[in-house]
Chain A
Amino acid sequence: MAPSDYQDKMSLISISRLSKIYQSGEVEVKALDDVSFEIKKGEFVAIMGPSGSGKSTLMHILGLLDRPTSGKYLLEDMDTSKFSDEELAKIRNQKIGFVFQFFNLLPRTNALRNVMVPMVYGGVKPQQREKRARQLLEAVGLGERIYHTSSQLSGGEQQRVAIARALAMNPAIILADEPTGNIATNQAQEIMRIFQKLNKEGHTIILITHELDIAEYAKRIIQLRDGKIIKDEINGKQREIPNSKHQIPIRRLADKIQISKFKTF
């Protein structure tokens, strides 16, 4: 992707001056310190950093599981700070697909049912959701194992179920938190190839990892340390890191119109 091309693409995530401060007793811990960046539709971004760098906090905020202490997070030009808990749940359901390090499949529940869970919450009709769940499981190569429960599947297989589940509502973003952290190397490569394939099909993927060889599957790598971005490069080419003096322009006009879409919930 040429840089000029990049500017034209639609902004999916736009974060400006984001901070997250944890209060532990008298001490303030800055998990995220004035972070700003933008992710466009169709990107494959790896967020890298050692433990304690704030990457998990960032991922939770991007996934709308947590709210920032200060700063702005626009998702598809909607100001997420204005959403109620109910609206956030709705957006998580429709816009974000999660893939966790520990798979987090429902125990004693077969793969098919696991993939159907987001569709149940999203109000998809029973026949439709079963059909889609089957298709997704086939797409991740588990067509033969749809009735296996998580305890009957290997780590790699469980993670593939989780990916199918993340895709269930056809979300705008797939957020993967150390998706290969708990599976064998050869299976990890398989998982990463699935992510690459999904990205080629147009899915926006944000990957959190501390392993460079995993991060290298992505087109863009953002490096965090002590809650700050220290490096942001596309295909090995470093981008300018925006700071407080250099903000990304925020489009607010569409806010209200977009929110109204969720009021029916």
Chain B
Amino acid sequence: MDFGLGILDFLKFMEFKELISESLITFKANKVRTGLAALGIVIGIASVIALLSLGQASQRLIENQIEALGSNLLTIMPGRITQGGIRGMIGGATTLTKEDAQAIADSSKVTTVKTVSPEYSRNAQVTAGKNNTNTQIYGVTPAYFSVRKVDIEKGVAISQRDVETMAKVAVLGPQVVSDLFGEGANPIGETVRINKIAFKVIGVTKSKGGTGFFSQDDRIFIPLTTAQKTVFGVDHLSTIAVETASKELMTETQNQIGYLLLERHRLSDPTAADFQIMSQEDILSTATQVTQTFTYLLAGIAAISLLVGGIGIMNIMLVTVTERTREIGLRKALGATKKIITTQFLTEAVIITFFGGILGILLGVGIFGILAKTMSLPFVISPSAILLAFSVSVAVGVLFGWYPAQKAAKLEPIEALRYE
């Protein structure tokens, strides 16, 4: 395995400049062919870059959205309940109550909590005049708006008094407003019917952006008591959101609340807990895992096109070697060793993939730029993706140039000179 050293030896006395200028002479004579060979690499690298960036951008988007929900946030959700040896589904427990929320806020055993927001949410059909929609109904207390960082655009938020009097008032998300009243309409004072019960619209929330599961714009907020008693007829909560005093106190708070709830629910075994406490970080890592898997899958598919590009390079190099058999023979007669011939053809292959790689990176960034703009994703290019694409393109040159270069190096000078 003296080959690595051999190349170094050779590069020492046959300067890089010499090799590159000789390769360029060859490329100039075969512009179309060289261009097409490079195109395979360009497309491969461009798709890897574009798809990797796209995946990373969507990940960043989700991260931003989750972070917008507040970073000092703990979410307590019902867990599974096991009765008589039968395990229920996750979130199926109905043991989380307003009293639990009150205890978290008041107990001397929990010292690090700033605000507690008990919530009950469920989907329901909502109508306003002739329009209707199906959306998430959130029974909340005033604490919700500060804990979840939801601002009021028009009108007012749900007040403590609304909760106490079980008022039939509603605060709409901007998406609901445009679904029920049309874009830009002012619904304050209008009536919406949730499960056929009339609610007076008292406010509209500010848009937080985002789509799907994490969208906070497609929601209706009503007093918690009204939601539990009047609309859905339940006693339990679906979540308790807790804002801790600081980010550093998250773990401590998590433990304090955990022990308090275990005690309140008369459970001695923490593994049997009928609730789960998740920090934003937990939620974030779950979401990240999903998008990351997706990103790698996309990049993997793109890498296949890179492989095809590499095979294209090998094909062209094999043709080149056959075409230049006489030249190889001559070079050997003039004193070129196997190492020199190998290096020469490897250099040619690597130059093609090197420049193909650069063009591919530019093209990939361009494509991603357009996609990011049309999909309103953040335009983030990771240097690691560029570096990876770059080294991969050079590696493709070495890998797929190797066999043709070896073939050239192994030609017998006499056979090569005779070749017509």
Contacts and interface: CB of A to CB of B under 8 A. Distances in A.
A66 B414 contact: yes
Interface in B303-344: 326-327, 330-340
A89 interface: yes
Nearest to B17: A126
Contact of B326 (A89, A98, A104, A122): A104
B327 A106 contact: yes
Interface string A198-212: 000000000000000
B337 A89 contact: yes
Interface string B22-57: 000110110000000000000000000000000000
A245 B413 CA distance: 34
B248 interface: no
B18 interface: yes
Nearest to B340: A121
Interface residues of B, number: 25
Contacts of B3: none
A179 interface: no
Contacts of A121: 14, 331, 334-337, 340
Main secondary structure of the interface of B (DSSP, over half): helix
Interface in A154-174: 165, 169
A121 B13 CA distance: 8
Contacts of A63: 333
Contacts of A169: 335
A63 B26 CA distance: 28
Interface in B103-150: none
A65 B335 CA distance: 10
Contact of B414 (A65, A86, A107, A126): A65
Contact of B334 (A85, A98, A109, A123): A98
A121 B19 CA distance: 11
Interface string A81-102: 0000110011011100010100
A65 B330 contact: no
Contacts of B339: 86
A86 B337 contact: yes
Contact of B417 (A65, A108, A123): A65
A104 B327 CA distance: 8
A169 B339 CA distance: 20
Nearest to B417: A65
B330 A106 contact: yes
Given A65-B417, A108-B25, A108-B29, A86 B338 contact: yes
Nearest to B13: A123
Which residue of B14, B330, B331, B333 has the most chain A CB atoms within 10 A of its CB atom?
B333
Given A104-B330, A123-B13, A109 B25 contact: yes
B29 A85 contact: no
Contacts of B335: 89-90, 92-94, 118, 121-122, 169
B269 interface: no
A122 B18 CA distance: 13
B15 interface: yes
Nearest to B416: A65
Contacts of B414: 60, 65-66
Interface in A58-81: 60, 63, 65-66
Contacts of A108: 25-26, 28-29
Nearest to A92: B335
Contacts of A66: 412, 414
20 contacts: A65-B333, A66-B414, A85-B338, A92-B332, A92-B333, A93-B334, A93-B335, A94-B335, A98-B334, A104-B330, A106-B327, A108-B28, A118-B334, A120-B14, A120-B18, A121-B14, A121-B335, A121-B337, A123-B13, A169-B335
CB-CB nearest 10 A-B residue pairs: A93-B335, A123-B13, A121-B335, A89-B337, A65-B414, A66-B414, A104-B330, A118-B334, A65-B413, A86-B337
Interface of A: 60, 63, 65-66, 85-86, 89-90, 92-94, 98, 100, 104, 106-109, 117-118, 120-123, 126, 165, 169, 265
